Structure 1
Amino acid sequence: MKTRLSLALGALAASGFAAALPATAQQAQPQLRTREIIVFGNDPCPRATDDEVVVCARRPEKDRFRLPEALRPTGPPQLSQSWSARSKALATVGQTGPGSCSGVGPAGTDGCALKEIQQGVAERTEQDTADTAPE
C-alpha cells in the first residue's frame, strides 16, 4: 500500500503538479537575516534594515567589561588559584635555614611564625571576600 502511495505522489510530481500551484506559493519568501546584539546601559540598539531583524538584549552598565557568564570561573577559589601562587608554594619545598620553617639550620623556626601570620592574613582575606555581597 505504501509503495502505491509513494508511486502516485511521484507520478503527480513528475506530471507537473507543481506547475498547477498558484504563483504565490511557488515564489520563495525572502529570507530575513537575524542579528542578535547585547547592549549595555543606555546604549542605543541599532536600527533594523529591510532585509534583517535586529534583536537587542539589554544588560546593566556594570556588566560591560565583565566576562560573559558562560566563561566565568565557577567553584571554590582554590580551584581557580593562579599558577604563580601555586609555584610560590613549590619554590620553598625543601628549603632550610633562616625563615624556612624547618628544624634544620639556624633560626629555621623563625619562618614558622611568619608562615602562620601569612596564613592567617590569607584566611581573613578569603573570609572577607566570602562575606561581601556580590555586585
Structure 2
Amino acid sequence: MLMLCALVFWRESPVGVICLAMMCGGDGVWWTGVADIIGRKYGSSKIPYNQSKSWVGSISMFVSGFIISIGMLYYYSALGYLQLDWGYTMHRVAFISLVATVVESLPITMLIDDNISVPLASMLAAYLTFGH
C-alpha cells in the first residue's frame, strides 16, 4: 500500500504525504512502542468493540498521526512542493487522522491487516478531502 501511495501521489500531492505519515507516524514503530508502554500501564480502559485495543493507544495513534502528517506537510511546503491553506489543512488532517484511527481500532485484522487498511483508508480520506 505504501509503495502504491508513493507511486501515485508522491511529492505533488498532500495525499501521499499524509498516507505515508499516518502509517509510519500514526501506526508505526516509534510511537506504537510508546503507545504500547503507555497502553500497558494506563490502557486498562478498552474500546468496547475491540478488547485488544485501548483508548490510550487509539488516542496516541490519532495524536501522533496528526503531528507527523502536519510536520511532513510543513516540510514539503517549505521545500516548495506543496502550496497549502493551513487553516483548512489542519482540519482536513485531523479528519484523516480520525478516519485512520477508527479503521485501525476495528476488529477486522482477521479479514485485512492494518498495514493495508490504515494506509488505504488514509489515502481514500485524503483524496476525498484534498481532491487531488
TM-score range, shorter chain: under 0.3
The structure with the largest strand share of the pair is 1
Higher RCO structure, 1 or 2 (CA under 8 Å, sep 6+): 2
Q: TM-score, normalised by structure 1?
A: 0.24
Task: Pick the structure with more helix per residue.
Answer: 2
